[in-house]
Structure 1
């Protein structure tokens, strides 16, 4: 029996990138899935995963910024599977803008999707998780904000650092219900979001941005999405049964180095 066999996980932002990786890894370990995304391609992802791993997958086009919509999909998942054991708050956005040039709309986007999205999703799922006897929540934060930052990341850093406080406070509140809440803090990962960031920084040569990013990481490469998915599956399983309220960094040691030019 695999470590997630018989469990049911709801994953947001599941159509691509890290969300798709979470879904694939969870299915590999036997979990049935509820996949949520704004993109219609989430249905194709669900069909592919179901065919490859033989698990049951419910896909839903849904906006995490809409609390009523999130309640409806959580209710639908509970009706379909009879339980909810894991939640991955993965849906997120990143838009670069210098602080003095940024707009209220850019700030609101990060708050609404990254912070309120996690809030609304957890509010929708946790009552069902309590009813199911407990489970695990994985919040996708970042090293950006709480540990590091680059110019142009103020709104993103604000939103991702807020998720650390959200994780810690929620972990304390949910512990009596046998629910653990942990945050994953990745560095740069080879995902469509990383490509988007690279295009924002250098529209004419985005690949060069990714190359320079890799050079600045001690391991000399960006993370693969599956490496994040494996950590997430571990946190959702009983293998991590006493890990609660933690922020786990997975960044190839990129947040340790002081500079890329000083040192012997």
Structure 2
């Protein structure tokens, strides 16, 4: 019998069509949870849903851009037609644009602030009554960039949004605790998502060698993370075995933060 069980639970996961989001959805589905995936790309959502349905759970999808001011309300209306409670909300959708501050446009700034910070806030507010009904929990996907930056990779906006997400996690854990709603965050380091793999594939041979050296020297475990590494932490936090854990930010970075 699997240790972590989510049988009969209902989970909504943003950015759920690939990478960390899909890995979390897969872990949840294998543990018995019904899944609602949210992402921008309808084709990728369809493919992800077909993969998850092989576990014999209910899978629903919404193709939405959460930087659109009306998207959260649209999602809320769709959700209310199908489900009356929400056991787990995973705020995973996000973006990172690594730019020096002098190069950041207002559009760059607001795109990251909206998706990385405002959308999670609005989603929690939108689904608050459903979370209270289920005495459910929220898992915010943050980043080690909130507290540990890498030289040569300027990330002022990204770091600001993830630091804000950590603060939101703690503030809402305190506010919603009396209602039985837990709020935690996971701060991954560098993970082998499709985006990361494509980035590395575009490196020159010398840059790949330099990057491999950096990983071996900077990560205590000597490798990048896999999406499943984050998913297993999310599965634990979503389960009843984490019933006394709230307001915490869990670093999952292979030891990058140790130096």
Q: Normalising by structure 2, report the TM-score.
A: 0.90
Name segments (4+ residues, structure 1) moved above 6 Å: none
Gaps of 5+ in 1: 258-264
2:117 to 115, 118, 134: 115
Q: For residues 1-264 of structure 1, what are the structure 2 equivalents within 5 Å? A: 3-40=5-42, 41-50=44-53, 52-130=54-132, 132-150=133-151, 151-195=153-197, 198=200, 203-204=203-204, 207-208=208-209, 210-215=211-216, 216-257=218-259
**Partner secondary structure for residue 196 of structure 2:** helix
Q: Report the Cα distance in structure 1 between the residues aligned to 2:80 and 2:238, rounded to whole angstroms.
A: 18
Q: 1:195 to 1:152 in 2, by over 3 A?
A: farther
Shift of 1:230: 1.0
CA distance in 2, matches of 1:56, 1:36: 14
Tell me, yes or no, if the aligned pair for 1:94 and 1:193 is still in contact at 8 Å: no
TM-score (norm 1): 0.89
How many residues are matched? 253
Q: CA shift at 1:207, angstroms?
A: 4.3
> For residues 125-171 of structure 1, what are the alpha-carbon distances to aligned partners after superposition, in whole Å with 9 as ceiling and x for unaligned?
222211x2310100000110234354311111111111011100111
Structure 2: gaps of 5 or more residues: none
Cα distance 1:122–1:14, how it changes in 2: closer, same or farther (>3 A)?
same
Distance 2:38 2:214 in 1: 30
Task: Give 1:99 shift.
Answer: 1.6
Kindly report the root-mean-square deviation, in angstroms, between the aligned alpha carbons of the 2 structures.
Answer: 1.9
